[in-house]
Structure 1
Amino acid sequence: MKSASTMEIATLPDEPPNGVTGGLDWARDDHAACVVDTRGREVVRHSVEHSTAGLAELVGVFRQAGCHEVAIERPDGPVVDALLAAGTTVVVINPNRVKNLRSRYGSAGNKDDRFDAFVLADTLRTDRARLRPLTPDGPDTVALRRNCRARKDLVTHRVAVANQLRAHLRGVLPGAVGLFAEIDSPISLTFLTRFTTQDRADWLTPTRLAAWLAKHSYSGRTDPAVLHARLSAAPRGPVGAQADANAAITTALVAVLQTLLTQIKMLSTEIETQLDAHADAHIFTSLPRAGTVRAARLLAEIGDSRARFPTRESLFCLAGAAPSTRQSGKSRVVGFRWACDKQLRDAVTDFANDSRRANPWADDLYQRARARGHDHPHAVRVLARAWLNIIWHCWQTGEAYDPNRHIALQRLLAQAQPEAA
């Protein structure tokens, strides 16, 4: 693998092939295409439907116009796959940037797919020095990214349903809310499957509860007598016909949670299998408290295309770990970077926040940021940027993270030894 110093950075040629550039505004049902010449004049305007025949027609339109470079607003999907398969150079331009670029051509600010296709094509013609061709990740990384994002969405859904179940139980069976550590734990859901109403919960005694827990292999350390005391001390829910009516809601929410937990577990297993087979797995699994899913998310969101992040700063900015600076005259404001890859930022900050529990250097960096007056999210982003510096180096060289070679960590540990003595 090439080192960072010898890594080839993909760039566009000074002049577009055949003197034409293309733009493509994609949509759900159809896509607007445009080709401009070296003077910015529109030479082709075309629309195709989103189908196999339509994508083939789209490739043919660009090929007939001699256009080998196309600008688009998204880096993936069937449209991008079709263009890349045809040997077309794809250049991704952020939608926010396109929105700002519309003012070049008029002040009305109207949104039109055909006009946006022209803006994309003309920007590719005029801003070539600031644009980079898309270097797609490998299919194994793309598949891993999809699974990681799907799992994250399911976890978000699980949390929402668990909150809904908790709010429902506060009115119909309050004793079940704080009975176990988590409302969506397997033992809690099993309990709610059997004891859906206050009437059924009243049947329990300390002895009966102990027998029921033993039957379902309860692994918690709380004594059954304590659990029964919690159940008895809680406010009572409705009984009789009203309780039976509410039981249907409890059963429905429990069933949804059980399904979500099953599917999350299934995706976690698939992610583990894909991560084990990935060439870059050793880099991300070597990070402290990265685990499996967290390491997979980092790998999937950063990707495997080294040319995508030729410098540390490019990774910092896309991950939202670098502040945004605005300066005019004597005014200089450093603020939060809103324009970034939200999925990447979430993966990096999630890892950074947990890493401080296992890495003294990370915890020290976080605590010093808090001491300077930063709030928790800001301090985590400071730590995330420091970790990205390390991750980028390991990623570019193909080496796993080695705490024994982490100079700042070893220096901190060496300082702590005399103090402990």
Structure 2
Amino acid sequence: MRLSYFSFFTHSGAKDDPTDAIIQVEILQLHMDKLTVIRPDSEDVRCLAQLVEYRRKLVQERIDLTNKISTTLKNYYPHVIDWFKEKDTQIFCDFLLRWPYLALAKKARKQTLLDFFNQHNSRYPLVNEKRIKEIKDAEILTDDMAVITPNLLLIECLVLQHKQLMLAITRFDDEIKTLYRQHEDRVIFDSLPGAGPQLAPRLLAAMGSNRDRYSCAAEIQKYAGIAPVTERSGKKEWIHWRYSCTTFLRQTFVEWAGLSVRYSFWAKAYYRQQEAKGKPHNTIIRALAFKWIRILFRCWKTHTPYDESTYLTALKSKGSQLLKFAVGSEL
């Protein structure tokens, strides 16, 4: 229970743990009809929920670490950033550990570099030749050891952390995949456009396996923070972002809605329709997530995998303006 709920009792905003505890007891004693008992989900689903959330945090740490590495390289060795477009790879890390500054890389023989690339499954002759040429032609940014030495040490520390972080994410991926494949509802989440191997387990964990927890899609929309909040006072009315929600859950639905635009015909048409109305990207994606939750809730409740053609047929039978817009835009 959030402390802000107690502002009714302490208008000054004073904070006192014993007082808060007494208020909580009073609410439990007198207002149990306003509270809903949440039954814990199955052990597998709860474990999966923790795994996918921890994995997402590790991925964010990897992104932050990659940015730190790029920033450090710009101080003395920016060439590597161009030679390896993908930074979350073993070849990028191993190259930096073996040739941590340009002068050392320029001394390497062509065959040594080719062998290194081949050992890391980079078997693209044109790409490798281009890299080797750029290594030999590159000009040293600085030869000031007061700059190079500290950055060398920092790069070594950061790259070693990066390698361990990538291994950790792989271990999480394996554990998540094992748990997800064992769940009987995975056929539902595998059918969702854009979900893929990363988001499908997150969506399964978000919905859970207890079909009695939610009575309607609106409850999920509110709990996940997708549904906006409407406030009224007299003749005034305003709508704003929902602040009290599970951030990771909202992030899951929003990320899925964003990816669905690439794989779902109606989702792509909806995005273009709203874009034509001048709506910003984030607003469109949140609105799309709102719609997807209703569809997912129906599939989840009825144990039915999602089928795009079935949904498009339903839209057509209702005379949906969305389909008319999609056809018109293609013409």
Q: Is the 8 A contact 2:273 2:325 kept in 1?
A: no
TM normalised by structure 1 equals 0.71
Q: Which runs of 5 or more residues in structure 2 are unaligned? A: 317-321
Matches within 5 A, 1:54-133: 94-95=1-2, 98-104=3-9, 106-133=10-37
The structure with the largest alpha-carbon Rg is: 1
Could you list the per-position Cα deviations for residues 45-70 of structure 1 after superposition, in whole angstroms to 9, with x for gaps in the alignment? xxxxxxxxxxxxxxxxxxxxxxxxxx
Identity %: 27
Could you list the per-position Cα deviations for residues 229-275 of structure 1 after superposition, in whole angstroms to 9, with x for gaps in the alignment? 44466652334744344322211111100000000001001000000
The 10-residue stretch of structure 1 (303-312 or 261-270) with the greater mean CA deviation from structure 2: 303-312
Q: Which residue of 2 aligns with 1:186?
A: 90
Q: Which runs of 5 or more residues in structure 1 are unaligned? A: 1-93
Match of residue 338, structure 1, among 243, 247, 269: 243
SS of 1:107's equivalent?
coil
Letter in 1 for 2:251: D
CA distance in 2, matches of 1:101, 1:376: 36
Could you list the per-position Cα deviations for residues 264-296 of structure 1 after superposition, in whole angstroms to 9, with x for gaps in the alignment? 001001000000112322221210121122111
Letter in 2 for 1:329: G
Matches within 5 A, 1:14-93: none
Q: Which residue of 2 aligns with 1:172?
A: 76
Q: Is the 8 A contact 2:194 2:259 kept in 1?
A: yes
SS of 2:83's equivalent?
coil
| Greater fraction of residues in strand | 1
Q: Which residue of 1 aligns with 2:271?
A: 366
Q: Which residue of 1 aligns with 2:211?
A: 306
- What is the CA-CA distance between 1:419 and the residue it aligns to? 9.1
SS of 2:239's equivalent?
strand
CA distance in 1, matches of 2:226, 2:35: 22
Q: Which residue of 1 aligns with 2:305?
A: 400
SS of 2:25's equivalent?
helix
Q: Which residue of 1 aligns with 2:158?
A: 253
CA distance in 2, matches of 1:409, 1:262: 45
Q: Is the 8 A contact 2:106 2:135 kept in 1?
A: no
Q: Which residue of 1 aligns with 2:192?
A: 287
Q: Does 1:216 align with 2:133?
A: no
Quickly say closer, same or farther: Cα 1:391–1:222, change in 2 above 3 A.
Answer: farther
Letter in 2 for 1:312: A
TM normalised by structure 2 equals 0.89
Letter in 2 for 1:276: R
Quickly say closer, same or farther: Cα 1:234–1:318, change in 2 above 3 A.
Answer: farther
Q: Which residue of 1 aligns with 2:319?
A: none
Q: Which residue of 2 aligns with 1:29?
A: none
Q: Is the 8 A contact 2:49 2:206 kept in 1?
A: yes
CA distance in 2, matches of 1:341, 1:198: 46
Quickly say closer, same or farther: Cα 1:220–1:393, change in 2 above 3 A.
Answer: farther
CA distance in 2, matches of 1:111, 1:415: 54
CA distance in 1, matches of 2:325, 2:13: 59
Quickly say closer, same or farther: Cα 1:319–1:372, change in 2 above 3 A.
Answer: farther
Q: Which residue of 2 aligns with 1:85?
A: none
- What is the CA-CA distance between 1:387 and the residue it aligns to? 0.4
The 10-residue stretch of structure 1 (274-283 or 156-165) with the greater mean CA deviation from structure 2: 274-283
Which of structures 1 and 2 has the larger relative contact order (alpha carbons within 8 angstroms, sep 6+)?
Answer: 2
Q: Which residue of 1 aligns with 2:224?
A: 319
Letter in 1 for 2:241: F
The root-mean-square deviation of aligned C-alpha atoms, in Å, is 2.6
SS of 1:326's equivalent?
strand
Q: Which residue of 2 aligns with 1:145?
A: 49
Q: Is the 8 A contact 1:206 1:225 kept in 2?
A: no
The 10-residue stretch of structure 1 (229-238 or 194-203) with the greater mean CA deviation from structure 2: 229-238
> How many aligned positions are there?
325
Quickly say closer, same or farther: Cα 1:129–1:179, change in 2 above 3 A.
Answer: same
SS of 1:347's equivalent?
helix
